[in-house]
Amino acid sequence: GDGKDGLGMFNVIPCNPNATEEVKALLNYFNELSGNGIITGQHTQTTKQEELKYIQEATGKLPALCGFELLSYSPNINRLQSSEECLLEVKENENTLDNAWEWVTRQKGLITFTWHWFSPMGGKDKSFYTEHTDFDASRAIVEGTAEHKALLSDMDYMADLLKPFCDKRVPILWRPFHEAEGEWFWWGSQGPEVAKQLYLIMFDRYTRVHQLNNLIWVWNSPLPQGYVGDDKVDIISRDLYPPAHQHTDLRQEYEELIQITPTEKLAALGEIGSIPSIPALAETRVPWLWFMTWSNDYGKSELFTTKEELRRAYHHDYAITLDRLPRLY
Protein backbone atom coordinates (compact mmCIF):
# COMPACT_ATOMS: atom_id res chain seq x y z
CA GLY A 1 0.00 0.00 0.00
CA ASP A 2 0.99 3.65 -0.26
CA GLY A 3 0.63 4.64 3.37
CA LYS A 4 -2.41 6.64 4.30
CA ASP A 5 -5.57 6.49 2.21
CA GLY A 6 -8.16 9.22 1.69
CA LEU A 7 -9.42 8.87 5.26
CA GLY A 8 -6.02 9.73 6.65
CA MET A 9 -5.48 6.20 7.89
CA PHE A 10 -2.75 3.63 7.48
CA ASN A 11 -3.02 0.63 5.21
CA VAL A 12 -3.18 -2.24 7.66
CA ILE A 13 -3.23 -5.38 5.57
CA PRO A 14 -1.54 -7.96 7.82
CA CYS A 15 2.01 -8.89 6.78
CA ASN A 16 1.01 -12.54 7.15
CA PRO A 17 -1.40 -13.23 4.25
CA ASN A 18 -3.03 -16.00 6.32
CA ALA A 19 -3.66 -13.83 9.39
CA THR A 20 -6.86 -14.59 11.27
CA GLU A 21 -9.98 -12.45 11.10
CA GLU A 22 -9.31 -11.45 14.72
CA VAL A 23 -5.91 -10.08 13.74
CA LYS A 24 -7.50 -8.10 10.92
CA ALA A 25 -10.18 -6.73 13.26
CA LEU A 26 -7.57 -5.64 15.79
CA LEU A 27 -5.39 -3.98 13.16
CA ASN A 28 -8.42 -2.13 11.80
CA TYR A 29 -9.23 -0.92 15.30
CA PHE A 30 -5.61 0.20 15.77
CA ASN A 31 -5.84 2.01 12.45
CA GLU A 32 -8.89 4.00 13.54
CA LEU A 33 -7.42 4.70 16.97
CA SER A 34 -3.99 5.89 15.80
CA GLY A 35 -3.79 9.66 16.37
CA ASN A 36 -7.16 9.60 18.17
CA GLY A 37 -6.11 7.82 21.35
CA ILE A 38 -3.37 5.74 22.93
CA ILE A 39 -3.61 2.25 24.45
CA THR A 40 -2.34 2.09 28.02
CA GLY A 41 0.02 -0.83 28.63
CA GLN A 42 1.96 -2.38 31.49
CA HIS A 43 4.61 -5.09 31.46
CA THR A 44 4.44 -7.64 34.26
CA GLN A 45 7.61 -9.55 35.03
CA THR A 46 6.37 -12.04 37.60
CA THR A 47 3.29 -14.17 38.13
CA LYS A 48 2.35 -11.92 41.06
CA GLN A 49 1.80 -9.03 38.62
CA GLU A 50 2.32 -6.42 41.34
CA GLU A 51 2.40 -3.71 38.67
CA LEU A 52 -1.29 -4.29 37.86
CA LYS A 53 -2.27 -4.12 41.53
CA TYR A 54 -0.31 -0.88 41.86
CA ILE A 55 -2.05 0.73 38.88
CA GLN A 56 -5.48 -0.38 40.07
CA GLU A 57 -4.88 1.02 43.55
CA ALA A 58 -3.53 4.30 42.16
CA THR A 59 -6.10 4.88 39.41
CA GLY A 60 -9.05 2.55 39.96
CA LYS A 61 -8.43 1.27 36.43
CA LEU A 62 -6.37 -1.31 34.57
CA PRO A 63 -4.35 -0.99 31.35
CA ALA A 64 -5.90 -2.22 28.11
CA LEU A 65 -2.65 -4.01 27.20
CA CYS A 66 -0.70 -6.31 29.47
CA GLY A 67 2.85 -7.43 28.74
CA PHE A 68 4.06 -10.88 29.75
CA GLU A 69 7.62 -12.17 30.11
CA LEU A 70 8.59 -15.53 28.60
CA LEU A 71 12.16 -15.82 29.93
CA SER A 72 11.47 -18.81 32.18
CA TYR A 73 10.22 -20.82 29.18
CA SER A 74 13.66 -20.67 27.50
CA PRO A 75 14.69 -24.33 27.01
CA ASN A 76 18.42 -23.77 27.67
CA ILE A 77 18.66 -22.23 31.14
CA ASN A 78 21.98 -23.26 32.70
CA ARG A 79 20.83 -23.56 36.29
CA LEU A 80 24.12 -24.96 37.58
CA GLN A 81 26.02 -21.83 36.54
CA SER A 82 23.40 -19.25 37.45
CA SER A 83 23.42 -16.66 40.20
CA GLU A 84 20.79 -16.62 42.94
CA GLU A 85 19.38 -13.48 41.32
CA CYS A 86 18.96 -15.25 37.98
CA LEU A 87 17.35 -18.33 39.54
CA LEU A 88 14.94 -16.13 41.50
CA GLU A 89 14.01 -14.20 38.36
CA VAL A 90 13.29 -17.46 36.54
CA LYS A 91 11.29 -18.88 39.45
CA GLU A 92 9.16 -15.75 39.89
CA ASN A 93 8.46 -15.72 36.16
CA GLU A 94 7.28 -19.34 35.84
CA ASN A 95 3.73 -19.86 34.53
CA THR A 96 3.29 -16.35 33.14
CA LEU A 97 1.40 -17.93 30.23
CA ASP A 98 -1.31 -18.91 32.73
CA ASN A 99 -1.57 -15.21 33.63
CA ALA A 100 -1.83 -14.33 29.95
CA TRP A 101 -4.72 -16.77 29.53
CA GLU A 102 -6.46 -15.27 32.52
CA TRP A 103 -5.95 -11.74 31.19
CA VAL A 104 -7.41 -12.69 27.82
CA THR A 105 -10.33 -14.81 29.01
CA ARG A 106 -11.40 -13.05 32.20
CA GLN A 107 -10.34 -9.44 31.64
CA LYS A 108 -10.71 -9.46 27.82
CA GLY A 109 -7.53 -7.41 27.54
CA LEU A 110 -4.83 -7.25 24.87
CA ILE A 111 -1.55 -9.14 25.28
CA THR A 112 2.04 -8.65 24.19
CA PHE A 113 4.95 -11.00 24.87
CA THR A 114 8.58 -10.20 25.58
CA TRP A 115 11.09 -13.05 25.44
CA HIS A 116 14.41 -12.54 27.17
CA TRP A 117 15.66 -15.65 25.41
CA PHE A 118 18.39 -17.53 27.25
CA SER A 119 20.88 -18.40 24.50
CA PRO A 120 20.03 -21.65 22.69
CA MET A 121 23.54 -23.06 23.32
CA GLY A 122 26.33 -22.38 25.76
CA GLY A 123 25.96 -19.53 28.16
CA LYS A 124 25.57 -19.24 31.89
CA ASP A 125 23.54 -17.10 34.27
CA LYS A 126 21.26 -14.61 32.42
CA SER A 127 22.49 -15.77 29.02
CA PHE A 128 20.11 -13.53 27.10
CA TYR A 129 22.84 -10.97 27.80
CA THR A 130 25.74 -11.08 25.36
CA GLU A 131 28.26 -10.93 28.21
CA HIS A 132 26.98 -14.25 29.60
CA THR A 133 27.14 -16.38 26.45
CA ASP A 134 29.51 -17.37 23.66
CA PHE A 135 26.56 -18.24 21.41
CA ASP A 136 27.37 -16.78 18.00
CA ALA A 137 24.25 -15.34 16.39
CA SER A 138 26.09 -14.96 13.06
CA ARG A 139 26.51 -18.75 12.94
CA ALA A 140 22.90 -19.33 13.99
CA ILE A 141 21.66 -17.87 10.69
CA VAL A 142 23.75 -20.37 8.67
CA GLU A 143 21.92 -23.61 7.84
CA GLY A 144 23.66 -26.78 8.91
CA THR A 145 25.48 -25.32 11.91
CA ALA A 146 24.93 -26.56 15.45
CA GLU A 147 23.92 -23.00 16.35
CA HIS A 148 21.24 -22.97 13.65
CA LYS A 149 19.81 -26.29 14.83
CA ALA A 150 19.72 -25.03 18.42
CA LEU A 151 18.04 -21.81 17.28
CA LEU A 152 15.30 -23.69 15.42
CA SER A 153 14.84 -26.12 18.30
CA ASP A 154 14.16 -23.25 20.73
CA MET A 155 11.91 -21.50 18.20
CA ASP A 156 9.86 -24.66 17.70
CA TYR A 157 9.56 -25.16 21.45
CA MET A 158 8.19 -21.63 21.86
CA ALA A 159 5.87 -22.06 18.87
CA ASP A 160 4.26 -25.05 20.62
CA LEU A 161 3.61 -22.88 23.69
CA LEU A 162 2.03 -20.18 21.51
CA LYS A 163 -0.12 -22.60 19.54
CA PRO A 164 -3.02 -22.80 22.05
CA PHE A 165 -3.48 -19.02 21.67
CA CYS A 166 -3.69 -19.56 17.93
CA ASP A 167 -6.18 -22.42 18.34
CA LYS A 168 -8.39 -20.11 20.40
CA ARG A 169 -7.84 -17.30 17.85
CA VAL A 170 -6.33 -14.90 20.38
CA PRO A 171 -4.20 -12.18 18.73
CA ILE A 172 -0.76 -11.69 20.25
CA LEU A 173 1.32 -8.55 19.77
CA TRP A 174 4.53 -10.49 19.11
CA ARG A 175 7.75 -8.50 19.62
CA PRO A 176 10.63 -10.92 19.02
CA PHE A 177 14.35 -10.04 19.14
CA HIS A 178 13.54 -6.81 20.94
CA GLU A 179 16.02 -3.94 21.02
CA ALA A 180 17.77 -5.43 18.00
CA GLU A 181 19.66 -2.15 17.58
CA GLY A 182 21.85 -2.88 20.61
CA GLU A 183 24.64 -5.35 21.32
CA TRP A 184 23.52 -6.12 24.88
CA PHE A 185 21.42 -9.17 23.90
CA TRP A 186 22.94 -12.11 21.97
CA TRP A 187 20.57 -11.58 19.04
CA GLY A 188 21.93 -8.06 18.51
CA SER A 189 25.53 -8.87 19.44
CA GLN A 190 26.67 -9.42 15.83
CA GLY A 191 25.02 -6.28 14.50
CA PRO A 192 21.63 -5.33 13.01
CA GLU A 193 21.99 -7.37 9.80
CA VAL A 194 22.31 -10.62 11.76
CA ALA A 195 19.37 -9.64 13.99
CA LYS A 196 17.35 -9.05 10.82
CA GLN A 197 18.14 -12.55 9.52
CA LEU A 198 17.15 -14.11 12.87
CA TYR A 199 13.79 -12.33 12.69
CA LEU A 200 13.24 -13.43 9.08
CA ILE A 201 13.99 -17.05 9.98
CA MET A 202 11.41 -16.88 12.77
CA PHE A 203 8.86 -15.08 10.61
CA ASP A 204 9.11 -17.77 7.93
CA ARG A 205 9.02 -20.62 10.41
CA TYR A 206 6.14 -19.28 12.47
CA THR A 207 3.94 -18.27 9.54
CA ARG A 208 4.74 -21.10 7.12
CA VAL A 209 5.67 -24.13 9.25
CA HIS A 210 3.77 -23.52 12.48
CA GLN A 211 0.99 -21.39 10.96
CA LEU A 212 0.76 -19.11 13.96
CA ASN A 213 -1.69 -16.88 12.13
CA ASN A 214 -2.71 -15.08 15.34
CA LEU A 215 0.56 -13.17 15.66
CA ILE A 216 0.73 -9.44 14.98
CA TRP A 217 4.38 -8.86 14.09
CA VAL A 218 5.99 -5.98 15.99
CA TRP A 219 9.50 -4.89 14.96
CA ASN A 220 11.44 -3.27 17.78
CA SER A 221 14.37 -1.13 16.63
CA PRO A 222 14.67 2.52 15.56
CA LEU A 223 17.56 1.82 13.17
CA PRO A 224 17.12 1.88 9.39
CA GLN A 225 20.01 -0.62 9.26
CA GLY A 226 18.66 -4.12 9.67
CA TYR A 227 15.01 -3.19 9.12
CA VAL A 228 13.30 -6.42 8.09
CA GLY A 229 10.97 -4.91 5.50
CA ASP A 230 7.39 -3.69 5.42
CA ASP A 231 6.14 -7.08 4.20
CA LYS A 232 7.33 -8.76 7.41
CA VAL A 233 6.08 -6.19 9.93
CA ASP A 234 2.66 -5.02 11.10
CA ILE A 235 3.77 -2.43 13.65
CA ILE A 236 7.10 -0.70 14.24
CA SER A 237 8.20 0.13 17.77
CA ARG A 238 11.07 1.33 19.89
CA ASP A 239 11.97 1.23 23.58
CA LEU A 240 12.56 4.51 25.39
CA TYR A 241 13.67 5.33 28.91
CA PRO A 242 13.32 9.11 29.41
CA PRO A 243 14.59 10.77 32.59
CA ALA A 244 12.46 10.15 35.70
CA HIS A 245 9.30 12.30 35.77
CA GLN A 246 9.86 13.61 32.25
CA HIS A 247 6.55 13.21 30.42
CA THR A 248 6.29 14.48 26.83
CA ASP A 249 4.68 13.50 23.53
CA LEU A 250 8.01 12.06 22.27
CA ARG A 251 7.47 13.61 18.86
CA GLN A 252 11.12 13.64 17.85
CA GLU A 253 11.48 9.96 18.76
CA TYR A 254 8.38 9.18 16.69
CA GLU A 255 9.74 11.10 13.68
CA GLU A 256 13.02 9.18 13.94
CA LEU A 257 11.27 5.82 14.14
CA ILE A 258 9.03 6.26 11.12
CA GLN A 259 12.08 7.07 8.95
CA ILE A 260 12.95 3.35 8.91
CA THR A 261 9.97 2.35 6.75
CA PRO A 262 9.28 3.18 3.10
CA THR A 263 5.51 3.18 3.76
CA GLU A 264 3.65 4.48 6.79
CA LYS A 265 3.29 1.98 9.59
CA LEU A 266 1.51 1.98 12.92
CA ALA A 267 4.06 2.83 15.61
CA ALA A 268 4.24 1.96 19.30
CA LEU A 269 6.34 2.45 22.43
CA GLY A 270 7.36 -1.17 22.99
CA GLU A 271 8.77 -0.34 26.40
CA ILE A 272 8.96 2.90 28.32
CA GLY A 273 10.19 4.00 31.74
CA SER A 274 8.50 7.32 32.57
CA ILE A 275 5.12 7.29 30.81
CA PRO A 276 4.43 9.69 27.95
CA SER A 277 2.28 12.75 28.66
CA ILE A 278 -1.26 11.79 27.69
CA PRO A 279 -2.53 15.40 27.86
CA ALA A 280 0.29 16.45 25.50
CA LEU A 281 -0.48 13.58 23.10
CA ALA A 282 -4.15 14.58 23.10
CA GLU A 283 -3.06 18.01 21.91
CA THR A 284 -0.35 17.12 19.39
CA ARG A 285 -1.82 13.79 18.20
CA VAL A 286 1.59 12.21 17.70
CA PRO A 287 0.20 8.80 16.73
CA TRP A 288 1.87 6.47 19.21
CA LEU A 289 -0.51 3.50 19.23
CA TRP A 290 0.37 2.20 22.70
CA PHE A 291 2.90 2.58 25.44
CA MET A 292 3.97 -0.28 27.66
CA THR A 293 5.50 0.81 30.95
CA TRP A 294 8.29 -1.52 32.01
CA SER A 295 8.05 -3.63 35.17
CA ASN A 296 9.23 -3.40 38.77
CA ASP A 297 10.23 0.14 39.80
CA TYR A 298 8.99 1.61 36.50
CA GLY A 299 5.52 0.15 36.96
CA LYS A 300 4.97 -0.18 40.70
CA SER A 301 6.63 2.84 42.32
CA GLU A 302 6.73 6.61 42.04
CA LEU A 303 10.42 6.66 41.10
CA PHE A 304 9.67 7.42 37.43
CA THR A 305 5.98 8.37 37.29
CA THR A 306 4.02 9.77 40.23
CA LYS A 307 0.62 8.39 41.15
CA GLU A 308 -0.82 11.76 40.27
CA GLU A 309 0.64 11.60 36.75
CA LEU A 310 -0.59 8.02 36.43
CA ARG A 311 -4.11 9.04 37.45
CA ARG A 312 -4.03 11.96 35.03
CA ALA A 313 -3.06 9.55 32.25
CA TYR A 314 -5.51 6.76 33.03
CA HIS A 315 -8.46 9.12 33.46
CA HIS A 316 -7.81 11.14 30.32
CA ASP A 317 -10.28 10.87 27.43
CA TYR A 318 -7.39 10.16 25.07
CA ALA A 319 -6.29 7.07 27.03
CA ILE A 320 -7.71 3.65 26.22
CA THR A 321 -7.86 1.73 29.48
CA LEU A 322 -9.23 -1.79 29.89
CA ASP A 323 -12.77 -0.56 30.55
CA ARG A 324 -12.70 1.46 27.32
CA LEU A 325 -11.41 -1.32 25.07
CA PRO A 326 -14.09 -2.49 22.61
CA ARG A 327 -14.83 -6.22 22.29
CA LEU A 328 -13.34 -6.91 18.90
CA TYR A 329 -13.41 -10.71 18.87
Amino acid identity at 86: C
Tell whether the torsion through CA atoms of 194, 117, 115 and 212 is positive or negative: positive
CA gap 185, 145 in Å, rounded: 21
Beta-strand runs (E) in the chain: 38-44, 65-69, 110-114, 172-174, 215-220, 235-240, 266-272, 288-293, 319-320
Cite the active site residues.
179, 271
Please name which of 229, 230, 204 lies closest in space to residue 215, comparing C-alpha atoms. Answer: 204
CA gap 242, 92 in Å, rounded: 27
CA gap 328, 30 in Å, rounded: 11
Strand, coil or helix: what is 320?
strand
